[in-house]
Chains A and B, each alone.
Chain A
Amino acid sequence: MIRVTLPPHLRTLAKVGWEVELEVEGQATQRSVLDALEARYPMLAGTIRDHVTQQRRPFLRFFACEEDLSHEPPDALLPEAVASGKEPLLIIGAIAGG
């Protein structure tokens, strides 16, 4: 079980609370977690990563275990604490503009 924390606007869009829990097939990577997130909440597709390029949107960052994982390759393994559900993967929106 993987825990994911979403920015407030995406919580509203997906009609979920502070944190969602996901079952992820195979190894826990950014790609596999986002695949599972979008499969369960289809309205989030395209909001975190671009539909076509699959690139992370520039005003979003990924954090976990007090580390910035935003520039890790999408298939790199997430920290063990995230894979085990001890720590959440934090999807954070930039603090910018009105």
Chain B
Amino acid sequence: MSRVRVLVGTRKGAFLLSADGKRGQWDINGPHFAGWEIYHVKGSPADPNRLYASQSSGWFGQTMQRSNDGGKTWETVGNKFVYDGVPGTHQWYDGTPHPWEFKRVWHLEPSLTDPDTVYAGVEDAALFRTTDGGQTWQELSGLRGHGSGPHWQPGAGGMCLHTILLDPSVPGRIFIAISAAGAFRTDDAGATWKPINRGLHSQQIPNPTAEVGHCVHRLAMHRSRPGVLFMQKHWDVMRSDNAGESWQEVSGNLPTDFGFVIDVHAHEPETIYVVPIKSDSEHFPLDGKLRVYRSRSGGNEWEALTKGLPQSNCYVNVLRDAMAVDSMDPCGIYFGTTGGQVYASSDAGDNWQPIARDLPPVLSVEVQTLS
């Protein structure tokens, strides 16, 4: 029988939650790296025992961890993230030039085929890659070197590269997203990049339809149909049917279209999930009710999923990297909150249960389906 392992990054350590295929009884293992911020933990699709973790601290900066045995033991690997060439400047919050400074790794995306190759999205926004299992990291500087780089600005959480999607069918195609620069695509394995933000509309920026400057919170795709992308933007849920060349809003009947997470059902490419958040100034669910919204039509028509989720006095947030799906049947959906809860549904969202209640604030959730 298959098993499921949920990798949870929190403000004060990492936790590994595991269950059998029924996903009813959960074992919690951790904290790993107690006291450190764990922005992201992710396993290699090519070797599920190979895990990578981004470990950081306001005191000690960035360190990186690797496990070769599914998280039983860890070893420290390379933490030297040096921008290629002269870093230059981006815009600061007040519009003045600000030097590019490495702060932390937000997101790790292991290669689909090679356990030693991993992409890292960092703050200040840039994309790095290792091909030696994390010992050394090199910047794919064509992204930061895109002509628009000096105009990028940080979002409230920092100027982070938070989403990396590897196209499983088009070699060399990678999608990334940056707050608050927008989405970008490369078709040559990172050498050159183009902004893919046509159709986005952001009233908070001087030119609401600018080529860059949009606060994209998250992108998602289904492996079987990588040309279709879904986006949770600062405001608006968006969809692209042409690999990001253009976007259409699919917020439809959502009660609010602000939010951070978005994900796609493992077996139904038109079934997507978001967690609406009240607003950019009130980062908690509307009316104190924690509701996941599901669309079975790729957007526009949404239904609230509430069974097992708190429906009163709930004022947590769900951060951008804190939702994931397993590949069991029926599909499991998972998300973590800033209140330290991790919720899971083993029936595609119809029913939910907390599988961890009192962790530190959750920064990221990933899932591995293990045979």
A residues with CB within 8 A of B: 7, 9-10, 12-13, 42-43, 45-48, 50-52, 57, 59-60, 93-94, 96-98
B residues with CB within 8 A of A: 11, 34-36, 57-63, 76, 79-82
A59 touches B58 (CB 8 A): yes
- Chain A residue with minimal CB distance to B76? A43
Query: Which one of A7, A46, A50, A96 lies within 8 Å of B63 (CB-CB)?
Result: A46
- Chain A residue with minimal CB distance to B11? A98
A52 touches B58 (CB 8 A): no
Instruction: Give Cα distance in the complex from A12 to B57, angstroms.
Output: 14
Residues of A within 8 A of B34 (CB): 12
Question: A-B pairs with CB below 8 Å: how many?
Answer: 46
Query: Which one of A10, A13, A42, A97 lies within 8 Å of B58 (CB-CB)?
Result: A97
B63 touches A13 (CB 8 A): yes
B58 touches A45 (CB 8 A): no
B62 touches A7 (CB 8 A): no
| Extra contacts besides A7-B60, A43-B63, A57-B61 (4): CB < 8 Å | A9-B59, A45-B79, A46-B62, A51-B81
Query: Which one of A43, A50, A59, A98 lies within 8 Å of B59 (CB-CB)?
Result: A59
Residues of A within 8 A of B57 (CB): 9
Q: Is the interface of B mostly helix, strand, loop or mixed?
A: loop
CB distance from A52 to the nearest CB of B (A): 6
List 6 contacting pairs A-B, 8 Å CB cutoff, sorted by A: A13-B60, A43-B63, A47-B61, A47-B63, A51-B81, A60-B60
B61 touches A94 (CB 8 A): no
Most chain A CB within a 10 A radius of its CB, from B11, B63, B82: B63
B79 touches A46 (CB 8 A): yes
Given A9-B35, A9-B36, decide whether A45 and B59 contact each other with a Cβ distance below 8 A.
no
Instruction: Give Cα distance in the complex from A52 to B82, angstroms.
Output: 7
Instruction: Give Cα distance in the complex from A48 to B79, angstroms.
Output: 12
B59 touches A57 (CB 8 A): yes
CB distance from B55 to the nearest CB of A (A): 9
Give me the 3 closest cross-chain CB pairs, A-B, nearest first.
A43-B76, A47-B60, A59-B59
CB distance from B66 to the nearest CB of A (A): 12
CB distance from B261 to the nearest CB of A (A): 24
CB distance from B32 to the nearest CB of A (A): 11
Residues of A within 8 A of B80 (CB): 45-46, 51
Residues of A within 8 A of B11 (CB): 98
Instruction: Give Cα distance in the complex from A76 to B197, angstroms.
Output: 53
Given A51-B82, A52-B82, decide whether A7 and B59 contact each other with a Cβ distance below 8 A.
yes
Instruction: Give Cα distance in the complex from A50 to B83, angstroms.
Output: 13
Residues of B within 8 A of A50 (CB): 61
Residues of A within 8 A of B82 (CB): 51-52
Residues of B within 8 A of A57 (CB): 59-61
CB distance from A92 to the nearest CB of B (A): 10
Residues of A within 8 A of B36 (CB): 9
Instruction: Give Cα distance in the complex from A13 to B75, angstroms.
Output: 9
CB distance from A56 to the nearest CB of B (A): 11
Instruction: Give Cα distance in the complex from A9 to B60, angstroms.
Output: 9
Residues of A within 8 A of B81 (CB): 51
Query: Which one of B35, B59, B63 lies within 8 Å of A94 (CB-CB)?
Result: B59
B60 touches A48 (CB 8 A): yes
Residues of A within 8 A of B35 (CB): 9
Residues of A within 8 A of B59 (CB): 7, 9, 57, 59-60, 93-94
B60 touches A10 (CB 8 A): yes
Instruction: Give Cα distance in the complex from A92 to B80, angstroms.
Output: 23
- Chain B residue with minimal CB distance to A52? B82
Instruction: Give Cα distance in the complex from A94 to B60, angstroms.
Output: 11
CB distance from B73 to the nearest CB of A (A): 12
Instruction: Give Cα distance in the complex from A52 to B80, angstroms.
Output: 9
CB distance from B283 to the nearest CB of A (A): 18
